[in-house]
Amino acid sequence: MGTVFLLVLVLSVSLIGISQGQLKVGFYSDTCPDAESIVSGVVRDAAQSNSNIPPVLLRLHFHDCFVEGCDGSILIENGPNAERHAFSHQGVGGFEVVDQAKAQLEATCPGVVSCADIVALAARDAIALANGPSYDVPTGRRDGRVSDVSLADNMPDVSDSIHQLKAKFLQKGLTEKDLVLLSAAHTIGTTACFFMTKRLYNFSPGGGSDPSINPLLLPELQSTCPENGDVNVRLAMDRGSEQTFDKQILDNIRNGFAVLESDAKLYEDVTTRGVVDSYFGLLSPILGPSFEADFVESIVKMGQLGVKTGSKGEIRRVCTAFN
């Protein structure tokens, strides 16, 4: 990656990065006091019907925030050029859960709660349902008025180098530590064999499989995702702990059991490797950093990317369409 490009990324952080605006915990306490409990109820009911809902909602929050900020732009459905149809968003779901929550909120408090806030709150509730940490979500986001498929071209990708991943996070005002912690959201959920083919059978530059894959894991992955097999078959991203939100994903990364190529890359870089290892020192349980607390700090920080507040944006009547 060229020096000039990196310089542009560094200079752009102040323009594109974190924007707290007028977000605050309990933003709807007067205007719609049951807002958060309504969202929680919808998420809980959806997860009871489909155990994959928690990771789906967590991924939706990430993908929304990385394009145009956390403004619900990914929810718009206004034709083939809508952002949600971007290649980088393939497999993203949870839209129907957000729509259900919005319908209940409109029936209770019409025109008050934004779709962008529903996405952030639903991700928080999803994490709790997967035995992850509970935390307060600053709210007050307004919904964006732009949804363009081309704006999602620079999403982080599973085949990105560690330098590309760090640069994409830096562009959003997020650090190497944030990169590790937000990648650790892969502790729950599944991915498709489509995203594994290159790593298993055509890993550059010499072809074959990625040499960083633990020899015990490789046959498992190849059995689930055979060459020229069904690319839609799904497999857990966190071997041995895909239903529980915990730091097992980081231990897997340390030991060559990372499923996604981008997760494995976190152990190639001195800085990101140091973050991963920091949660496994001899004194970590007592004196070391808390994975759960640090994750909460990072996801709350991510949830403030490019937010629209005050007179910016709008409060959509339905999440799939601009007013």
Distances (CA, A) of 266 to 52, 225, 238, 246, 255: 25, 23, 15, 17, 12
Does the active-site annotation cover 63? yes
Q: Of 17, 15, 294, which Cα lies nearest the Cα of 168?
A: 17
Residue 240 has a CB neighbour count (10 Å cut-off) of 11
- 254, 267 Cβ separation under 8 angstroms: yes
- Catalytic-labelled residue, pool 61, 63, 89, 186: 63
What is the distance between the alpha carbons of residues 36 and 29, in angstroms, rounded to a whole number? Answer: 9
Per DSSP bridges, beta strands 190-192 and 24-25 are unpaired
If 0-12 CB within 10 Å is exposed, 13-18 middle and 19+ buried, where does residue 36 land? buried
Structure tokens at 41: 């109820």
Continuous segment of H or E residues that includes residue 106: helix 95-108
Q: Of 184, 185, 158, 179, which Cα lies nearest the Cα of 167?
A: 179
Active site amino acids: 63
